[in-house]
C-alpha cells in the first residue's frame, strides 16, 4: 500500500483531532463517533494492523475508513513535520486497498456504480446536466476566456443548481467572457479520488482533460472547491494543465476595484471556509476579500476559522454516502451552532456541498429564523444594485 | 457476552458500545512499549448515572472495569490486563463551572487539557490552569489522578495538589463527593475535612471512577518570558535549581538534556518561565532570577542563553508540541519514559546513570526534570524512543525502561505512573504495612476486585 511506511510512525498523540486552539474536537468522524478508532491516528494504527493481518477486513473497518471526510484537519495539525503531509494520503491509500479488495460499504460501491453508469452520483441522465442553466442565456463553451465548470452538485443538486445559477448570473452580469459545457460536462472525479478509486479517477481525469483540450480550454472557473482541487492539483499528473480559479477568486478579481455599489444596510456575516479551498489549497483570504468589498457587510469570524475551520462533514465522499451520519454531534450541526453563536445573520459558504450540508443543519437545529446560509455569489447578488 | 453487550447498549446506546475487533485492537494498547491486552467491550458513558449503571453491571457480573482518559499515559495503565470493559471517559468533557472569585474550575473527568485551556483563554482570560506537557487531548481527570505535573508546578506543586475536590463512582456503584463539595455548594478546597481524595490519587483506577473534579486556577499574566540557564556540570544543578525556585518567581522550571539539537549536546539547560502584570514587573522578576544565580555567573560556570523571540515563543508554548516529535527521532513512532519522582539533590547521579543506560542499551534518549514546588522534588524523566515496527527495538527500549525503573528505586526515587512490572518493583521496596493498608482499603472499596485488576498487585 502506498504510504504504508508511515503508518507505524504515528504516535497517536491526538493533535490531529483538534484545531490549533484545542477548543473542541475538529475531526468530523471522531467528533461524531468518539471511539479512538475513528480518529486519524486510530485509522493509521488500524490500517497497519489490517495490513499485518492482526485484524480482519470487516464492515466496521470499512465504515471507519470511509467516514473520514478528508477535510485535512489532521494534516494541518499533525505535529510530525516529516510525514504529516501524507497522513490523509495514507488513509486514502487505505481506502484504495479496500476498493481493490472489493471490500467497501454498500453506499460507497453504489456511488462508484452510479459514476460508472450515469457519470454522476445522482443517477440522473447526463442529458439533464445542463438543465441548471436554463433561462440564463449562457453560451456554450467555444473558445471564450473561461470555461465555467458547474460540477455534479452544481448540475444536479437543487441547492447546488441555485448556487451555480447565482455564480453564472454574476459572471454574465459583470461581462466575464465564459461558456459552459452543459450536457457535455462530466464529473470532475474528486470524490472518486478521495474515496480511493484511483483507476476510475484517472479515467475521468483523462476524459475531462481530452475534452477540455479539444475545446481549447485554457482557463477554468469552478463552482465547487472540490473540482478546483482536482483540476488544479491532480489533473496536471495526467498532463492536464489549466489555469483554474475557484469562483470566489473570479469574484474577487471582478470586485477588486473597491467596494461594490449596492445595498448598505448593516449585515453581519460569518464565513465557513470550505476545506478544499482552505486547508487543501490555502486560500483563506479571497472569500474574505469578497465579503469585505460588500457594502454594509461586517464579518464576524467563528472561533474555528481558516486552518481551524470545522468541516461541514460533506467531504471525502460523505456528501453522497453519508457514512458520517446525522445527530447533534454531526459536524454540520456543531458548525451551524458555532455560526449562530457569532450573532451573524448569514452563514456564508463557497461550496455547494457546504451549502447543502449546512442548510440542512440549520433546519435540524431550528435556527432558520436566526441564520441563513448563503453562498458568496448569492450575497454579492443580494447586495448589488 | 452478548447479554452484557445488550445491557451496555441499554445504558449508553448502541453507538457508544463496541465489542468489535477494531476497538478491541486499539484499546488494547497505548503508544508505549507495554504488550497489548484486549478488552471485551469499550464503553463511552455520557453521565455519572451511566457510569453508575455500568459499574453496577460490572459488579453484578464480576467483570473487570478499566477507566481511561486520553489513553496517553504511555505506561499501559489503561490496558485491561484481564479483559472486561474499558470505560472511555472522553464523552464526559463538560466544563461545569468556573469560579473566578475563588479561582477554581469544575470539569467532568473527560474534559481535555486543551479544551479547558481554550475555554479559559476565551471566557476567563485572567485565569489559567497548570497544563502538563502531554498532548492537549489528554484529560484533566487522568492527569490529576496520576499525580501529574505541568507548567505551573513550580508555583503550585503536583496537579494532585491543585485538586479541590472530586465526584467518584465507587466500585460498588455509589456516588461520593470528596472535599468541600461534599458539604457545600462550593468546590473550594479539600480542607478541613478528612482528606479522602487520597483514596483515588495514584491508584490507577483501582478504587473508583472519578467523574467530576475541581482544580485550582492561577493568574494568567499578560507579560510572559522564559530564560534558559545553561551549565555543563550536573553537580551544580541542585543548588542552581533551588536558588531559582526559592526566589518564588518562576511558574515552571524545566531542565532538559538531549543530544539533539546539536547545540544542546553536553549541556544541562534549565528553562525558567515566569509571568508578570506589567513590563516593569517582568523586568524585576528577570533581575531577581538573575540575582539568584549570580555566584554561578561570576564564576563563569553557568550563563543565560541568548534567546531570539521566536525561540522564546516556542519555549513558552504550553503544552510543548515538539515533545511528541521525539517519537519520530528514528522514524519509529514510539517513545516511552520513566518519570522518576525524586529529590532534587539526586539530579547529578540521575543524569549520569541515565546517560549510561541509554548508551549501554543503545536507545535514542532525552532526559530532563520538571521541578515541583520550590524545588521540593522533581519529576526526572528518561525518555527512550523506539521503532514501533521493529520488535527488537521495542524490546531494547523496554529493557532500558526496566533498567531505569530499577535505577530510580535504587537511588531513592519512585517511578511515576509506573508500568505494572515497575509497580511490583515499587511494592517490593515499600513498607509491607503500607502495602497491606493499600490492600485493605482496596478490599473494602472494591470487594469484587473489578477495578483495573493487575495494577498495584504484588
Which of B13, B22, B113, B327 is the mutation pick for testing A, counting most A CBs within 10 A?
B22
Q: Look-up: residue for cell 507505524?
A: A8
Q: For B209-265, how does the pLDDT look when each residue is reduced to its tens digit (9 = 90+)?
A: 999 999 999 999 999 999 999 999 999 999 999 999 999 999 999 999 988 888 888
Residues of chain B with pLDDT under 50: none
- What pLDDT shows up at residue B263? 85
Residue A81 in contact with partner chain B when CB distance is under 8 A: yes
- Looking at the complex, report in whole angstroms how far the Cα of residue B451 sits from the nearest Cα belonging to chain A: 21
- Chain B residues within 8 A of A8 when measuring between CB atoms: 332-333, 387-389
**ipTM of this model?**
0.97
Using an 8 Å Cβ cutoff, are B272 and B315 in contact?
Answer: no
Query: Is the peptide bond prior to A7 cis by the omega test (within 30 degrees of 0)?
Result: no
Contact B21 A55 (CB under 8 A): yes
- Looking at the complex, report in whole angstroms how far the Cα of residue A40 sits from the nearest Cα belonging to chain B: 12
Using an 8 Å Cβ cutoff, are B16 and B44 in contact?
Answer: yes
Contact B26 A37 (CB under 8 A): yes
Contact A42 B26 (CB under 8 A): yes
Predicted confidence band of residue A259 (pLDDT cuts 50, 70, 90):
low
Cell of A149: 465548470
Tell me which H or E stretch contains B18.
strand B17-18
Predicted confidence band of residue A383 (pLDDT cuts 50, 70, 90):
confident
Q: What radius of gyration, in Å, describes the C-alpha atoms of chain A? A: 20
Using an 8 Å Cβ cutoff, are A249 and A323 in contact?
Answer: no
Q: How far apart are CA B455 and CA B244, in angstroms?
A: 37
- What pLDDT shows up at residue A290? 96
- Chain B residues within 8 A of A17 when measuring between CB atoms: 137
Judge if pTM exceeds 0.95.
Answer: yes
Strand ranges inside B317-450, DSSP E: 333-342, 365-372, 377-387, 414-416
Helix, strand, or coil here: B271? strand
Contact A61 B15 (CB under 8 A): no
Q: How far apart are CA B13 and CA B9, in angstroms?
A: 5
Which of B31, B116, B333 is the mutation pick for testing A, counting most A CBs within 10 A?
B333
Strand ranges inside B139-251, DSSP E: 163-169, 175-179, 209-216, 218-219, 223-231
Tell me which H or E stretch contains A376.
helix A376-383
Q: What radius of gyration, in Å, describes the C-alpha atoms of chain B? A: 22
Using an 8 Å Cβ cutoff, are B64 and B83 in contact?
Answer: yes
Q: Which of A21, A33, A35 sits opposite B118 (nearest CB)?
A: A21
- Looking at the complex, report in whole angstroms how far the Cα of residue B126 sits from the nearest Cα belonging to chain A: 17
- For residues A57-75, give the mean pLDDT: 98
- Looking at the complex, report in whole angstroms how far the Cα of residue A340 sits from the nearest Cα belonging to chain B: 17
Cell of A24: 473542541
Count other C-beta atoms under 10 Å from residue B392's C-beta.
8
- What pLDDT shows up at residue B264? 87
Contact A22 B118 (CB under 8 A): yes
- Looking at the complex, report in whole angstroms how far the Cα of residue B444 sits from the nearest Cα belonging to chain A: 33
Predicted confidence band of residue A258 (pLDDT cuts 50, 70, 90):
low
Residue A243 in contact with partner chain B when CB distance is under 8 A: no
- Chain B residues within 8 A of A82 when measuring between CB atoms: 328, 331
CA distances to A151, A257, A269, A312, A382 from A351, rounded to whole Å, are 11, 24, 16, 10, 18
Instruction: Summarize chain A as % helix, strand, coil (round to 5).
Output: 50, 10, 40
Q: Which residues, at least 6 apart from A354, have a Cβ–Cβ distance to it below 8 Å?
A: A272, A274, A312, A314
Q: How far apart are CA B334 and CA A223, in angstroms?
A: 44
- What pLDDT shows up at residue A260? 60
Closest to A122 measured CA to CA, from A131, A134, A111, A108: A111
- Looking at the complex, report in whole angstroms how far the Cα of residue B4 sits from the nearest Cα belonging to chain A: 19
Contact A14 B70 (CB under 8 A): yes
- Give A239: exposed, middle or buried? Use CB within 10 Å, 0-12, 13-18, 19+: exposed
Long-range CB pairs of B312-318, under 8 A, 24+ apart, other chains included: B312/B225, B312/B226, B315/B226, B315/B228, B315/B271, B315/B273, B316/B224, B316/B225, B316/B226, B316/B273, B318/B117, B318/B131, B318/B133, B318/B150, B318/B151
- Chain B residues within 8 A of A27 when measuring between CB atoms: none
Amino acid at each position: 500500500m502506498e504510504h504504508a511506511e508511515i503508518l507505524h510512525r504515528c504516535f497517536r498523540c491526538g493533535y490531529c483531532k483538534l484545531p490549533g486552539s484545542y477548543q473542541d474536537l475538529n475531526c468530523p468522524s471522531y467528533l461524531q463517533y468518539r471511539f479512538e478508532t475513528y480518529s486519524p491516528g486510530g485509522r493509521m494504527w488500524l490500517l497497519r494492523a489490517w495490513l499485518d493481518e492482526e485484524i480482519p477486513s470487516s464492515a466496521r473497518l470499512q465504515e471507519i475508513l470511509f467516514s473520514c471526510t478528508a477535510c485535512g484537519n489532521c494534516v494541518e495539525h499533525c505535529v510530525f513535520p516529516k510525514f504529516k503531509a501524507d497522513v490523509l494520503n495514507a488513509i486514502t491509500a487505505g481506502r484504495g486497498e479496500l476498493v481493490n479488495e472489493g471490500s467497501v460499504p454498500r453506499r460507497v460501491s453504489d456511488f462508484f456504480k452510479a459514476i460508472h453508469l450515469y457519470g454522476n452520483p445522482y443517477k440522473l441522465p447526463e442529458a439533464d446536466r445542463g438543465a441548471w442553466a436554463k433561462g440564463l442565456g449562457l453560451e456554450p463553451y467555444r473558445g471564450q476566456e473561461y470555461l465555467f465548470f458547474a460540477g455534479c452538485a452544481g448540475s444536479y443538486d437543487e441547492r447546488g443548481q441555485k448556487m451555480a445559477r447565482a455564480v453564472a448570473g454574476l459572471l454574465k452580469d459583470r461581462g466575464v467572457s465564459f461558456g459552459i459545457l452543459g450536457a457535455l460536462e462530466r464529473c470532475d472525479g474528486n470524490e472518486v479520488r478521495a474515496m480511493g478509486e484511483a483507476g476510475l479517477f484517472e479515467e475521468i481525469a483523462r476524459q475531462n482533460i481530452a475534452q477540455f483540450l479539444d475545446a481549447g480550454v485554457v482557463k477554468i472557473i469552478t463552482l465547487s472547491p472540490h473540482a478546483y482541487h482536482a483540476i488544479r492539483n491532480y489533473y496536471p499528473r495526467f498532463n492536464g494543465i489549466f489555469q483554474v480559479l475557484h469562483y470566489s477568486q473570479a469574484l474577487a478579481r471582478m470586485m477588486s476595484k473597491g467596494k461594490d455599489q449596492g445595498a448598505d444596510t448593516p449585515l453581519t456575516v460569518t464565513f465557513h471556509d470550505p476545506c478544499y479551498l482552505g486547508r487543501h489549497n490555502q486560500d483563506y483570504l479571497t472569500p474574505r476579500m469578497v465579503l469585505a468589498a460588500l457594502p454594509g457587510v461586517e464579518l464576524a469570524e467563528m472561533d474555528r476559522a481558516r486552518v481551524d475551520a470545522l468541516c461541514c462533514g460533506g467531504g471525502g465522499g460523505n456528501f453522497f454516502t453519508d457514512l458520517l451520519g446525522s445527530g447533534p454531534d454531526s459536524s454540520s450541526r456543531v458548525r451551524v451552532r458555532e455560526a449562530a453563536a457569532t450573532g451573524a445573520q448569514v452563514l456564508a459558504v463557497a461550496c455547494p456541498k457546504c451549502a447543502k450540508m449546512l442548510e440542512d443543519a440549520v433546519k435540524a437545529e431550528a435556527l432558520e429564523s436566526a441564520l441563513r446560509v448563503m453562498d458568496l455569489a448569492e450575497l454579492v447578488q443580494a447586495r448589488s444594485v | 457476552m452478548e447479554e452484557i453487550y445488550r445491557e451496555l447498549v441499554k445504558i449508553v446506546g448502541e453507538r457508544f458500545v463496541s465489542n468489535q475487533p477494531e476497538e478491541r485492537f486499539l484499546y488494547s494498547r497505548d503508544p508505549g512499549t507495554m504488550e497489548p491486552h484486549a478488552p471485551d467491550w469499550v464503553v463511552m458513558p455520557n453521565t455519572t448515572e451511566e457510569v453508575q449503571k455500568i459499574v453496577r453491571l460490572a459488579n453484578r457480573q464480576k467483570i473487570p472495569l478499566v477507566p481511561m482518559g486520553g489513553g496517553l499515559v504511555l505506561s499501559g495503565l489503561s490496558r485491561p490486563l484481564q479483559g472486561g470493559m474499558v470505560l472511555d471517559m472522553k464523552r464526559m468533557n463538560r466544563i461545569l463551572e468556573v469560579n473566578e472569585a475563588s479561582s477554581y474550575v469544575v470539569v467532568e473527568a473527560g474534559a481535555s487539557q486543551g479544551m479547558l485551556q481554550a475555554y479559559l483563554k476565551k471566557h476567563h482570560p485572567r485565569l489559567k490552569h497548570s497544563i502538563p506537557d502531554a498532548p492537549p487531548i489528554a484529560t484533566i481527570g487522568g492527569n490529576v489522578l496520576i499525580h501529574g505535573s505541568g507548567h505551573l508546578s513550580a508555583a503550585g506543586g503536583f496537579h494532585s495538589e491543585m485538586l479541590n475536590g472530586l465526584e467518584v463512582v465507587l466500585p460498588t456503584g455509589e456516588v461520593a463527593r470528596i472535599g468541600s463539595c461534599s458539604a457545600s455548594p462550593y468546590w473550594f478546597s479539600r480542607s478541613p475535612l478528612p482528606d479522602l481524595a487520597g483514596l483515588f490519587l495514584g491508584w490507577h483506577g483501582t478504587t473508583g471512577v472519578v467523574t467530576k473534579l475541581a482544580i485550582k486556577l492561577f493568574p494568567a499574566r499578560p507579560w510572559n518570558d522564559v530564560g534558559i540557564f545553561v551549565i555543563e556540570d550536573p553537580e551544580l544543578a541542585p543548588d542552581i535549581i533551588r536558588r531559582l525556585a526559592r526566589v518564588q518567581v518562576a511558574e515552571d522550571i524545566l531542565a532538559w538534556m538531549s543530544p539533539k539539537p546539536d547545540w544542546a549536546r553536553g549541556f544541562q539547560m534549565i528553562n525558567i518561565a515566569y509571568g508578570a502584570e506589567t513590563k516593569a514587573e517582568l523586568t524585576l522578576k528577570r533581575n531577581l532570577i538573575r540575582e539568584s544565580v549570580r555566584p554561578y555567573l561570576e564564576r563563569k560556570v553557568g550563563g543565560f542563553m541568548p534567546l531570539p523571540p521566536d525561540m522564546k515563543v516556542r519555549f513558552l508554548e504550553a503544552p510543548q508540541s515538539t515533545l511528541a516529535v521525539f517519537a519520530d527521532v528514528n522514524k519509529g513512532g514510539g517513545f516511552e519514559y520513566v518519570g522518576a519522582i525524586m529529590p532534587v539533590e539526586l539530579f547529578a547521579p540521575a543524569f549520569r546513570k541515565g546517560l549510561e543506560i541509554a548508551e549501554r542499551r543503545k536507545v535514542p534518549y532525552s532526559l530532563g526534570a520538571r521541578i515541583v514546588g520550590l524545588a521540593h522534588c522533581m519529576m526526572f524523566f528518561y525518555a527512550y524512543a523506539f521503532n514501533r515496527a521493529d520488535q527488537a527495538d521495542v524490546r531494547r527500549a523496554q529493557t532500558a525502561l526496566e533498567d531505569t525503573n530499577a535505577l530510580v528505586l535504587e537511588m531513592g526515587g519512585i517511578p511515576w505512573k509506573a508500568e505494572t512490572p515497575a509497580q511490583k518493583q515499587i511494592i517490593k521496596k515499600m513498607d509491607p504495612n503500607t502495602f497491606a493498608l493499600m490492600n485493605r482499603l482496596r478490599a473494602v472499596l472494591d470487594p469484587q476486585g473489578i477495578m483495573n485488576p493487575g495494577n498495584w498487585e504484588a
